[in-house]
């Protein structure tokens, strides 16, 4: 995983838990240096509801965890490895 | 907590989630502060419209709901007795009904008004999940008919009306966020349900109320009102609709119910706690910032009456006898007061139908052609050629293709008539380019026709160019509206008044010349026809006489009535133009007088730091910078023109006195013109009057408009007197302790604010 | 009072938070952190801060950008302006705006644009005092329902020609 830069995660579907028992899943479209994330096509899941929110800014101080599907992470890794090999 | 885990589990299916939090944190820490990591094609500008977690202004999940709101149950029939249940349902229906007007009149959103009603949310959610047109899953099951039947009817009719407004809105005449918010939170507002399904549901409810709940008078009235709202659907001319008379009946019922409802004492029973709630904003998919729900203010039934009356007004355009009347209808109907948003959205759709017809009366092309005929084309060589040449001749083909272009611009003109006040001005800004390029093209076409001998002489070295003349008339009128509307919208600072009014005056002069040319043509043509009759009397019987007699008869039957009414209409336009010219001129004089005593300047030197008065002037005239004719005067021409109006020493007092007298005499003439026009409007279609105003469908609005012009004339007159008294025979250098203030007299025309002189 | 003015230092993360604090205290419009990122990260040279004496916490800021408008002219845009309540009426806002416009002028902007509420008399006085004029009025522009004026200050002749005509290729005479 050390191979991966922040850039490599752009476009990935991420799962972010934020304060107040909320899980957001969305496509990572941007991040700044403070890890304030900008997610698109966000779906919010709480104990009561599951709903779509569209484009959402997730400030770093609200983030409890950021997760990816193992398969998604693997494919990012594979892409990166191929890229690096091609450069060499 | 457990259920959140369950939900997460459901999301990830069998795929394991890997925590990358720390990895990402480390990566971020090594980023330079200025860097933003993003996909190259993603524009950060989009990000400025994002919601934000834990930001109270941007996170709808943070909305706090009360215990009552959380526990509210749509499937419970609130109230102990039947009587109490009726009272609750009445209160809910009343609030819901009022919410519709809060939505439309106070420019609120649906989730803060209609959709804040829990029953609406509940039923429309069911319907969206299962959109069957028989409404089988879209119902309440409290076990009591006053909820399950009557309240359901109220909800259905309300939602049907929302669908009607959505339909109007989708036609794209009014603007989202600006005129109307139509976001239904992704809920399907009965899209597949027929009007009859909803209205027969309401009829059953009304029957039930009559038979079993005779005391539920208010509830029955509300339901009847909602039912007539839903029926507004039939006014949108999508396909061949029922007769307009029936539609009018619907609106009359609406008005009658609203009038009765507004007289009823406020109900003492409140809606069940929690039945109206902002909760929908946090329960459903939502891409908008949270907003508090909006309580009705109490004037909602009046608002229903206004809406219905405004829609009725739109329908009156049906009765137009001529294109001039349609045109004047559009000019006046939204003028003195901005009409209800539903009426504004309806007007262009009602007038210009999807099947390319105008009111089921004209095709677009005929409608355009008729604009020319009722102005400058009647009785011209071109009109004759168009009549006698075959349909596939190059002339007719080219003419028709021009009519298509004219239709496109006219379409914008009519649509613009029902825009909100700000868009109305911007509409002309856009249109000017269209009129200008149309004028250029059509002039080339007409010059070509003239070279083929199709021309109408207007005396020495001048010809009519009937098509160009009309386009120019429309363009000049549009230019003047654009300039003058800026005063109403408070777009000009006092130092700009001179420039803007002098330019209006300049435009009015060009318009006057143009109208006089049409007038000359009409007089000539009428004279020619009359001369035919004299000639006939002198001719001896024979083939020559017969042929002349038949052309004379043709002209008398087909041309003369139109020529005469065109003459009277252009006469009206001339009077109206003179008014614009005079009022602008008086404003110019007022400015010049105040400048002569050093209290105002037409250049604002504060722009010198980064810009210059000249550059600022050019920016102000950007709209007109590309217009070929009338030529935009140069900056120095504007500056120099002011000198001609200024009063200089020596003999300041005498010259000032003369200016004042001139202004008063101009205003007296203007007043006479207004009286004459108003008189013509009052007499309506009376054939004997010297003017045709084409306003019989908008008589009150037209009279109101000219009344406001009259008020402006009086206000300008009294301001002239004030200036006269204040300045008197004092030296022009003695006004350093004065300043100007812009004032608008009550009920005066907003195009002519006053520059008044005040002590500092 | 001695007030210092300087460009924002985008390398210092605290500066964004200062701007955020000053603006949020003042505006009713909701802004996410990405509104600030949009302006500050892309046009840090067009963001200026005002400091009292040697303080390190700014008391005022102006946030701007400059971009091609319809491919026809370079348009400077004043996005946000705020001065802490206790330091108002001292000409700080005007100075901030002036510095920003000077920078825009130096870097070739053809005009400067902004929107402001019709009811915001103070803002109108400030900008009109610098030569801005009201080009148009916009119906219900703000969340609080108010109309807005679009103000423009022309810096070059390009500002005074409709963009439609600036885009037309120059016709060359053979």
8 Å CB contact of B619 and C154: yes
Rounded to a whole number of angstroms, the distance from the CA of C97 to the nearest CA of chain B is: 12
- In angstroms, the CA C84 to CA B614 distance is 36
- In angstroms, the CA C38 to CA A28 distance is 17
Closest Cβ–Cβ partner in A54, A63, A69 for B287: A54
Give me the pLDDT at residue B1, please. Answer: 42
Distance of CA C69 to the CA centre of its chain: 15
Domain assignment of residue C90, yes or no: yes
8 Å CB contact of A33 and B47: no
8 Å CB contact of B36 and C118: no
Residues in chain C within 8 Å Cβ distance of A53: none
Domain assignment of residue A1, yes or no: no
Distance of CA A36 to the CA centre of its chain: 11
Query: What are B682's two structure tokens?
Result: 């009052």
Give me the pLDDT at residue C144, please. Answer: 67
A20 reaches B (C-beta below 8 A): yes
Helix H or strand E segment including B37: strand B37-38
8 Å CB contact of A57 and C41: no
User: Using CA atoms in the order B118, B123, B125, B130, what is the torsion angle rounded to 10 degrees?
Assistant: 170
Closest Cβ–Cβ partner in C13, C33, C41 for A57: C33
- In angstroms, the CA B602 to CA B640 distance is 11
For β-strands C111-117 and C73-83, DSSP reports them as parallel
- pLDDT at residue C174 is higher than 60: no
8 Å CB contact of B7 and A23: yes
Domain assignment of residue C174, yes or no: no
8 Å CB contact of B8 and A46: no
- In angstroms, the CA C112 to CA C100 distance is 10
Portion 33-62 of A in contact with B at CB < 8 A: 33-35, 38, 44-62
Domain assignment of residue A41, yes or no: yes
C111: DSSP letter = E
**CATH number for the domain that contains residue A25:** 2.30.30.100
Domain assignment of residue A48, yes or no: yes
B509-539 per-position pLDDT tens digit: 999 999 999 999 999 999 999 999 999 999 9
> Residue A32: closest CA among chain C residues belongs to which residue?
C37
State the ipTM, two decimals: 0.96
Closest Cβ–Cβ partner in C12, C38, C137 for B489: C137
Identify the segments of chain B with pLDDT beneath 70: 1-14, 238-246, 267, 685-687
Task: Report how many Cβ contacts below 8 Å link chain A to chain B.
Answer: 156
Rounded to a whole number of angstroms, the distance from the CA of A62 to the nearest CA of chain C is: 13
**CATH number for the domain that contains residue C116:** 3.40.630.30
- In angstroms, the CA B370 to CA B377 distance is 9
| Averaged pLDDT, C22-50 | 93
Percent of chain A past pLDDT 90, that is, above it, reads 80
- In angstroms, the CA C107 to CA B577 distance is 47
- In angstroms, the CA B82 to CA C49 distance is 67
The strand pairing partners of B362, in sequence order, are: B358
Cβ atoms of residues B732 and B598 within 8 Å: yes
Q: Is B653 exposed, middle or buried (0-12, 13-18, 19+ CB in 10 A)?
A: middle
Domain assignment of residue A27, yes or no: yes
pTM: 0.93
Per-residue H/E/C for C17-65: HHHHHHHHCCCCCCCCHHHHHHHHHHCHHHEEEEEECCCCCEEEEEEEE
8 Å CB contact of B619 and C152: yes
Give me the pLDDT at residue C171, please. Answer: 45
Give me the pLDDT at residue B245, please. Answer: 52
Residue C104's φ and ψ, nearest 5 degrees, are: -60, -45
Cβ atoms of residues B352 and B412 within 8 Å: no
Closest Cβ–Cβ partner in B179, B490, B610 for C131: B610
B534-578 per-position pLDDT tens digit: 999 999 989 999 999 999 999 999 999 999 999 999 999 999 999
B750 reaches C (C-beta below 8 A): no
For A32, the domain range is: 6-87
A5-32 per-position pLDDT tens digit: 999 999 999 999 998 899 999 999 999 9
Query: What are B670's two structure tokens?
Result: 């203007």
For C81, the domain range is: 3-167
Rounded to a whole number of angstroms, the distance from the CA of C170 to the nearest CA of chain B is: 15
Rounded to a whole number of angstroms, the distance from the CA of C168 to the nearest CA of chain A is: 37
Could you tell me which chains touch chain B, where touching means 3 or more CB pairs under 8 A? A, C
Give me the pLDDT at residue B2, please. Answer: 45
Number of domains in chain C: 1
């Amino acid at each position: 995983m050390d191979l991966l830069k922040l850039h490599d995660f752009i476009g990935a579907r991420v799962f972010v838990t934020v304060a107040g028992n909320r899980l957001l899943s969305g496509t990572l479209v941007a991040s700044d240096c403070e890890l304030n994330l900008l997610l698109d096509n966000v779906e919010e899941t709480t104990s009561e509801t599951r709903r779509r929110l569209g484009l959402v800014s997730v400030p770093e101080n609200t983030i409890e965890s950021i997760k990816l599907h193992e398969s998604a992470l693997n494919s990012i890794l594979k892409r990166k490895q191929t890229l690096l090999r091609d450069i060499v | 907590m457990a259920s959140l885990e369950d939900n997460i589990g459901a999301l990830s299916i069998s795929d394991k989630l890997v925590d990358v939090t720390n990895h990402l944190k480390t990566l971020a820490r090594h980023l330079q502060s200025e860097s933003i990591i993003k996909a190259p094609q993603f524009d950060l500008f989009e990000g400025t419209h994002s919601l934000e977690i834990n930001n109270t202004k941007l996170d709808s999940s943070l909305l706090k709901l009360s215990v009552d709101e959380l526990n509210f149950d749509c499937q419970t029939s609130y109230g102990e007795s039947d009587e109490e249940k009726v009272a609750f349902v009445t209160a809910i229906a009343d609030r819901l009904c009022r919410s519709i007007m809060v939505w439309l009149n106070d420019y609120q959103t649906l989730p803060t008004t209609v959709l804040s009603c829990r029953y609406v949310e509940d039923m429309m959610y069911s319907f969206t999940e299962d959109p069957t047109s028989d409404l089988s899953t879209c119902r309440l099951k409290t076990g009591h008919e006053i909820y399950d039947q009557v309240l359901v009817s109220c909800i259905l009719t309300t939602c049907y009306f929302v669908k009607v407004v959505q339909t109007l809105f989708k036609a794209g005449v009014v603007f989202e966020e600006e005129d109307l918010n139509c976001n239904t939170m992704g809920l399907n507002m009965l899209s597949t349900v027929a009007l009859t399904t909803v209205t027969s549901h309401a009829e059953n409810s009304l029957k039930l109320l009559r038979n079993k709940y005779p005391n539920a008078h208010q509830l029955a009235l509300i339901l009847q009102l909602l039912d007539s709202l839903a029926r507004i659907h039939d006014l949108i001319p999508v396909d061949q609709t029922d007769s307009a008379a029936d539609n009018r009946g619907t609106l009359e019922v609406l008005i009658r119910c609203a009038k009765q409802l507004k007289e009823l004492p406020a109900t003492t029973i409140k809606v069940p706690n929690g039945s109206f709630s902002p909760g929908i904003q946090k329960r459903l998919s939502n891409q908008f910032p949270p907003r508090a729900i909006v309580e009705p203010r109490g004037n909602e039934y009046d608002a229903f009456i206004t809406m219905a009356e405004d829609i009725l007004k739109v329908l009156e355009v049906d009765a137009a006898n001529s294109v001039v009347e349609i045109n004047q209808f559009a000019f006046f109907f939204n003028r003195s007061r901005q009409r209800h948003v539903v009426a504004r959205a309806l007007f262009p759709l009602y007038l210009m139908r999807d099947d390319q017809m105008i009111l089921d009366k004209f095709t677009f092309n005929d409608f355009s052609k008729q604009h020319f005929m009722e102005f400058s084309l009647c009785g011209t060589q071109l009109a004759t050629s168009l009549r006698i040449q075959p349909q596939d001749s190059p002339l007719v083909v080219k003419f028709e293709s021009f009519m298509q272009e004219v239709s496109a611009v006219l379409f914008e003109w009519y649509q613009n008539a029902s825009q909100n006040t700000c868009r109305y001005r911007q509409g002309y800004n856009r249109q000017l380019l269209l009129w200008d390029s149309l004028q250029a093209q059509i002039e080339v076409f007409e010059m070509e026709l003239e070279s083929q001998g199709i021309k109408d002489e207007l005396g020495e070295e001048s010809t009519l160019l009937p098509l160009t003349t009309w386009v120019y008339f429309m363009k000049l009128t549009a230019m003047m509206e654009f300039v003058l509307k800026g005063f109403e919208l408070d777009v000009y600072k006092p130092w700009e008044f001179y420039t803007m009014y002098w330019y209006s005056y300049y435009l009015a002069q060009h318009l006057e010349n143009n109208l006089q040319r049409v007038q000359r043509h009409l007089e000539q043509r009428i004279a020619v026809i009359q001369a035919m009759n004299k000639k006939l009397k002198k001719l001896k019987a024979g083939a020559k006489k017969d042929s002349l007699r038949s052309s004379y008869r043709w002209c008398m039957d087909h041309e003369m009535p139109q020529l005469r009414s065109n003459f009277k209409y252009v006469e009206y336009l001339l009077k109206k133009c003179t008014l614009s010219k005079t009022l602008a001129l008086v404003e110019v004089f007022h400015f010049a007088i105040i400048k002569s005593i050093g209290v105002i300047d037409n250049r604002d030197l504060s722009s010198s730091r980064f810009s210059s008065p000249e550059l600022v002037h050019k920016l102000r005239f950007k709209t007109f910078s590309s217009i070929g004719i009338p030529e935009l005067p140069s900056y120095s021409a504007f500056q120099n023109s002011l000198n001609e109006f200024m009063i200089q020493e020596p003999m300041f007092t005498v010259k000032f006195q003369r200016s004042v007298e001139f202004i008063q005499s101009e205003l007296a003439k203007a007043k006479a013109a207004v009286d004459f026009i108003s008189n013509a409007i009052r007499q309506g279609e009376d054939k004997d009057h010297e003017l045709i105003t084409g306003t019989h469908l908008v008589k009150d609005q037209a009279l109101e408009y000219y009344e406001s012009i009259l008020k402006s004339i009086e206000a300008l007159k009294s301001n002239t007197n004030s200036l006269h008294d204040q300045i008197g025979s004092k030296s022009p250098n003695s006004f350093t302790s004065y300043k100007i203030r812009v004032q608008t007299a009550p009920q005066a025309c907003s195009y002519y604010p006053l520059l008044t002189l005040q002590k500092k | 009072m001695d007030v210092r003015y300087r460009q924002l230092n985008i390398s210092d993360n605290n500066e964004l938070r200062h701007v955020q604090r000053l603006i949020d205290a003042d505006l009713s419009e909701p802004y996410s952190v990405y509104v600030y990122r949009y302006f500050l990260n892309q046009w840090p040279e067009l963001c200026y801060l005002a400091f009292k004496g040697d303080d390190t916490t700014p008391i005022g800021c102006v946030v701007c950008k400059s971009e091609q408008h319809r491919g026809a002219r370079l348009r400077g845009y004043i996005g946000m302006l705020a001065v802490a309540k206790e330091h108002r009426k001292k000409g700080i806002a005007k100075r901030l705006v002036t510095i920003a416009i000077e920078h825009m002028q130096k870097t070739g902007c053809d005009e400067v644009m902004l929107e402001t509420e019709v009811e915001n008399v103070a803002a109108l006085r400030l900008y009109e005092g610098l030569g801005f004029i009201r080009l148009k009025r916009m119906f219900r522009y703000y969340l609080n329902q108010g109309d807005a004026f679009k103000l423009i200050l022309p810096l070059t002749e390009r500002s005074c020609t409709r963009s439609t005509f600036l885009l037309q290729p120059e016709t060359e005479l053979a």
